[in-house]
Chain A
Amino acid sequence: MAALNVNGTTHQVDVDPNTPLLWVLREQIGLTGTKYGCGIAQCGACTVHIDGVATRSCSVPVSTVVGKQITTIEGLAAGGTLHKVQKAWLDHDVPQCGYCQSGMIMAVAALLKDKPKPTDADIDANLTNICRCGTFQQIRAAIHAAAASA
């Protein structure tokens, strides 16, 4: 049994300690906004924040995040108010199929915390999530809009 702090709530989970955090979130806790895409930390669809750091949860054994603050896409909108990245995504009509966007939004939210006004080069260097629909052009515009917003 392990205690996980996810989006400010403590969950008692009974799983093999090697189980990836992704599958604990999805199958034990029922938070399915975090997506399975590749399982090998390539695509970023499973990105969550662990103590504020964007992390690919498919490759993190659950035993290593006990006692840490885990934030998923479901917990990003504090008090029901959309995070500025979500707001920019809405304004720019970013998602197509949307499957990658939970991870994309979490990665960008973390990027903006580190670099509040990222340049295109910063975006290129830091955002390596995969989107097969090809929403990158809208994503770039939305990141700059989010950075410019309060």
Chain B
Amino acid sequence: MNYMPKIDRRSFLVGTAAVGGGLSLGLEIPFGPDVVRAADGSPEVNAWVVIRPDDTVVIRIARSEMGQGSLTGLAQLVAEELECDWSKVTTEYPSPGQNVARKRIWGDYASTGSRSIRESQDYVRKGGAAAREMLIQAAANEWKVPASEVSAANSTLTHKPSGRTTTYGKVAEAAAKLEPPKEVKLKDPKDWKIIGKPLKRLDTADKLTGKQQYSMDVRLPGMLSAAIIESPVFGGKVKSVDAAKVAGMPGVKKVVQSGDAAVAVVADTWWQAKTALEALPIVWDEGPNAKVSSATIADMLKAGLDAETKFVGNQQGDAKAAITNAVKKVEAVYSYPFQNHAAMEPMNATAVYTSDKCEVWTSTQNGEAALAAAAEAAGLPVEKCDVHKILLGGGFGRRARSEYVSHAVRIAKEMPGTPIKLIKSREQDTSNGVYHPITQCRLTGAFDANNNLTGLHMRISGQSILAAIAPSRLAEGGRDPVTFQGLNAGGTEGVFGYEIPNLLIDHAMVNPPVPPWFWRGVNNNQNAIYLECFMDELAHAVGQDPLEFRRKLMSKHPKHLAVLNAVANGVNWGKPAPQGVYRGLAQQMGYGSYVAAAAEISVTDGNKVKIHRIVAATDCGHAVNPAQIERQIAGSFVYGLSALFYGECTVKDGRIEQTNFHDYNVMRIAEMPKVETIVMPSGGFWGGVGEPTIFVAAPAVLNAIFAATGKRIRSVPLKNHGISFA
């Protein structure tokens, strides 16, 4: 391979316009004298790779890190192809504004749907591979030898015939002036040395000393702080504000209305702003939802169980006829409540606005959406705005919503030139957030005379996220395909794992006036509870072992079956459990991965649950970093079981009743079960990791509770059934 230094800028521009800005390789071709440089002046070999003269490799990460570990995993993907020394790797986020300026060279910034690695693995690996080829070529040019005689390994380039060596740092400047290869060949997975290794995270050290900056910690010269309250009733508006009442309070600078439904106080410190906000008289127009309650919402959902609907998610044969003709029929109604994300770092953003520029510092799961929100609130072209992404103190879907950016910019716009840090209090975050969608589900199973399952009807009644936030993304006729997560007939995302001759899964869309949002695992959470607990019910109804009952229906779904078998083996399913210990199982496919869990529990006094052990298996195709996958799996049981035992946001007078961790409780270390993980990548596909295990946590434990008590729990949370951790 011989790459000519580029001389024709114009033809490149024309060429890249034709191929979509070079994203196919994740590359932007630099020009001889116009090497693109990082902030410290080091040359970009390409958009993904900057190499400093001291051999430090800076890998650009477009997706957001919120604890899930994809920053480290994405760096592994680039480093694998780059053949660099892992100990020299560091990372940085290119800003969303830079992405706009460079025609989206870094692609999608969204870190939702467990997609950070699986949806960018191809182009980031190609970015690493292209940079490696250019470094090789640069060394070959310097030595005046064919590139084919130069090899790259561990950040060192070697001319094989002569044994001469140089380092990446020494040739990076020259490499950056070369034309990138048109095509690169990615390594065969069997040759991976960095991908697949249980490497430690790259971002740990500063988290141990207080040095790590979160957006909550941003401090800018002259910065003021803002506290905000939104209409307590969803859909309400500000009627009047008596700003004079707080004007003289310590530190108070200004009272600002943000949009038509929020009021903020700006002060020298956030504590002063919050204190003044609590004293600020605000009259709300509560709007049409002031009478909505959990009971009225439950009635709406209940009506949906019997409503006519055209929204079908999965259909085989004629389920209704099979049910009519059944020798034995089993029916149950399940429900799942609103949940708050409760990320540890409350929502916040810092903004500076001037008439020709707006900058925001924030933790976001979607940098491009945050940038768009900033530009809209500022009333400036997007090119005049930027968002500086900062590590997230938890995301869980919540930080894919950018309303806190909008608020920060609107407030900053009222005080041009002054940096404004907006922090939503925990109380605002809990009671004025966005929520896991609420649904109910009626499941009806049909058996023939030989106890074969001949039909299943799952009627989901409940909220559509897309209808609330992105109606343009609804499918034909207004159907929300996201409702059917994990229940799909085909595809690569979340396939229903059973063969049932007559199957109908449909959805009556019922949208109560509480804003729904993506919440780690999203609709898989309740769909897995509904399906996997009901499969357990069906097995027991015909006196069959829940594992054997499932296995008979899974012959066409070997990957689903493999993870289920793995956890069953892990808990010695079929062999006697220790005295007083009972087991439950669940499996589901979501975000492209196959997951299963088995729980071993005991119950004392009929209502105190001790989870002795969880065995969890994941087939995510390629496992980029098994150590971090294990951590995601273990952590999933904290998130999933917190929701199962405690999680529920209730509605009264049109508002969420819970305000903080005292009434929206979550698990502590004492409640954490021992989690044994089985990472079993079967290769050939890329599945997500951050979310999938969440949704098998609850049904595995619920099925074990039934095994222990004979009591079938069909609604969440367990605290409403008087059940607690032992």
Also in contact, A137 and B634, with CB within 8 A (given A30-B219, A125-B670, A132-B666) = yes
Q: Is A130 an interface residue (CB 8 A)?
A: yes
CA A19 to CA B209, docked complex, whole Å: 25
- CB contacts (< 8 Å) of A74 on chain B: these are 209-211
- Of B204, B271, B395, B426, most A-chain CB atoms within 10 Å: B271
Q: Check B67–A32 contact: CB distance below 8 A.
A: no
Closest residue of chain B to A32, judged by CB? B217
- CB contacts (< 8 Å) of A128 on chain B: these are 668-670
- CB contacts (< 8 Å) of A28 on chain B: these are 269
CA A46 to CA B560, docked complex, whole Å: 43
Please list the 6 inter-chain residue pairs (A to B) with the smallest Cβ-Cβ separation, ordered nearest first: A33-B210, A134-B638, A134-B635, A99-B393, A97-B67, A98-B207
Closest residue of chain B to A91, judged by CB? B200
**CB proximity to A under 8 Å, residues B403-447:** 423, 425-427
Q: Check B346–A95 contact: CB distance below 8 A.
A: no
- Of A43, A127, A131, most B-chain CB atoms within 10 Å: A131
Q: Check B269–A136 contact: CB distance below 8 A.
A: no
- CB contacts (< 8 Å) of B201 on chain A: these are 93, 95
CA A124 to CA B667, docked complex, whole Å: 12
Q: Check A96–B631 contact: CB distance below 8 A.
A: yes
Q: Is B68 an interface residue (CB 8 A)?
A: yes
Q: Is B214 an interface residue (CB 8 A)?
A: yes
Q: Check A98–B346 contact: CB distance below 8 A.
A: no
Q: Is B470 an interface residue (CB 8 A)?
A: no
Q: Check A123–B346 contact: CB distance below 8 A.
A: no
**CB proximity to A under 8 Å, residues B195-215:** 200-201, 203-205, 207-214
**How far, in Å, is B197 (CB) from chain A's closest CB?**
13
Q: Is A148 an interface residue (CB 8 A)?
A: no
In the complex, per-residue mask of B670-713: 1 if CB is within 8 Å of any chain A CB, else 0? 10101100000000000000000000000000000000000000
**CB proximity to B under 8 Å, residues A12-35:** 16, 19-20, 23, 26-28, 30-35
Task: Compute the total of residue contacts between A and B using a CB distance below 8 Å.
Answer: 173
Q: Check A137–B207 contact: CB distance below 8 A.
A: no
**CB proximity to A under 8 Å, residues B340-391:** 342-346, 391
Report the interface size for chain A: residues with CB under 8 A from the other chain.
Answer: 58
Q: Check A40–B660 contact: CB distance below 8 A.
A: yes
Q: Is A86 an interface residue (CB 8 A)?
A: yes
Q: Check B634–A134 contact: CB distance below 8 A.
A: yes
CA A77 to CA B393, docked complex, whole Å: 23
CA A38 to CA B393, docked complex, whole Å: 13
**CB proximity to B under 8 Å, residues A136-150:** 136-140
Binding site for B on A (CB under 8 A): 16, 19-20, 23, 26-28, 30-40, 42-43, 45, 72-74, 76-77, 82, 86, 89-90, 93-102, 105, 123-125, 127-140
Instruction: Jot down 13 A-B pairs with beta carbons below 8 A, ordered by A.
Output: A20-B271, A23-B269, A36-B346, A37-B426, A39-B425, A97-B66, A98-B204, A99-B394, A101-B207, A130-B661, A133-B67, A134-B672, A135-B631
**How far, in Å, is A6 (CB) from chain B's closest CB?**
12
- CB contacts (< 8 Å) of B69 on chain A: these are 96
Q: Check A132–B668 contact: CB distance below 8 A.
A: no
Q: Is B627 an interface residue (CB 8 A)?
A: yes
Closest residue of chain A to B674, judged by CB? A137
Contact of B344 among A89, A97, A123, A125 (CB under 8 A): A97
Q: Check B68–A132 contact: CB distance below 8 A.
A: no
CA A30 to CA B426, docked complex, whole Å: 21
Report the interface size for chain B: residues with CB under 8 A from the other chain.
Answer: 60
Q: Check B668–A98 contact: CB distance below 8 A.
A: no
Q: Is B216 an interface residue (CB 8 A)?
A: yes
- CB contacts (< 8 Å) of A139 on chain B: these are 669
Q: Is B593 an interface residue (CB 8 A)?
A: no
Q: Check A135–B635 contact: CB distance below 8 A.
A: yes
Q: Check A124–B208 contact: CB distance below 8 A.
A: no
**How far, in Å, is B628 (CB) from chain A's closest CB?**
8
CA A19 to CA B67, docked complex, whole Å: 31
CA A23 to CA B273, docked complex, whole Å: 12
- CB contacts (< 8 Å) of A31 on chain B: these are 210
Q: Check A38–B426 contact: CB distance below 8 A.
A: yes
Closest residue of chain A to B396, judged by CB? A132
Q: Is B636 an interface residue (CB 8 A)?
A: yes
- Of A20, A30, A35, A132, most B-chain CB atoms within 10 Å: A132
Q: Check A93–B200 contact: CB distance below 8 A.
A: yes
CA A137 to CA B668, docked complex, whole Å: 11
**How far, in Å, is B573 (CB) from chain A's closest CB?**
23
Q: Is B293 an interface residue (CB 8 A)?
A: no
Q: Check A99–B666 contact: CB distance below 8 A.
A: no
Q: Check A40–B662 contact: CB distance below 8 A.
A: yes
Q: Check A105–B426 contact: CB distance below 8 A.
A: no
- Of A34, A125, A136, most B-chain CB atoms within 10 Å: A136
CA A90 to CA B209, docked complex, whole Å: 11
CA A76 to CA B636, docked complex, whole Å: 30
Q: Check A95–B208 contact: CB distance below 8 A.
A: yes
Q: Is B639 an interface residue (CB 8 A)?
A: yes
CA A20 to CA B272, docked complex, whole Å: 11
Q: Is B106 an interface residue (CB 8 A)?
A: no
Q: Is B225 an interface residue (CB 8 A)?
A: yes
CA A130 to CA B66, docked complex, whole Å: 16
Also in contact, A35 and B344, with CB within 8 A (given A43-B661, A93-B204) = yes
Q: Check A23–B208 contact: CB distance below 8 A.
A: no
Q: Check B345–A99 contact: CB distance below 8 A.
A: yes
**How far, in Å, is B67 (CB) from chain A's closest CB?**
3
Also in contact, A95 and B668, with CB within 8 A (given A27-B271, A132-B639, A134-B637) = no
- CB contacts (< 8 Å) of B219 on chain A: these are 30, 32
Also in contact, A98 and B425, with CB within 8 A (given A43-B344, A132-B342, A136-B672) = no
Contact of A23 among B217, B270, B672 (CB under 8 A): B270
- CB contacts (< 8 Å) of A105 on chain B: these are 208
CA A110 to CA B205, docked complex, whole Å: 21
- CB contacts (< 8 Å) of A42 on chain B: these are 660-662
- Of B68, B210, B214, most A-chain CB atoms within 10 Å: B210
- CB contacts (< 8 Å) of A73 on chain B: these are 209-210
In the complex, per-residue mask of B473-495: 1 if CB is within 8 Å of any chain A CB, else 0? 00000000000000000000000
**How far, in Å, is B587 (CB) from chain A's closest CB?**
21
Q: Other than the known A98-B203, A123-B669, what 18 A-B pairs have Cβ atoms closer than 8 Å?
A: A20-B271, A31-B210, A32-B217, A33-B209, A37-B345, A37-B426, A39-B660, A43-B344, A93-B201, A96-B68, A97-B343, A101-B208, A132-B639, A133-B67, A133-B394, A134-B636, A134-B667, A136-B669
Q: Check B344–A37 contact: CB distance below 8 A.
A: yes
**How far, in Å, is B211 (CB) from chain A's closest CB?**
7
In the complex, per-residue mask of B212-240: 1 if CB is within 8 Å of any chain A CB, else 0? 11101101000001000000000000000
Q: Check B627–A33 contact: CB distance below 8 A.
A: no
- CB contacts (< 8 Å) of A124 on chain B: these are 669-670
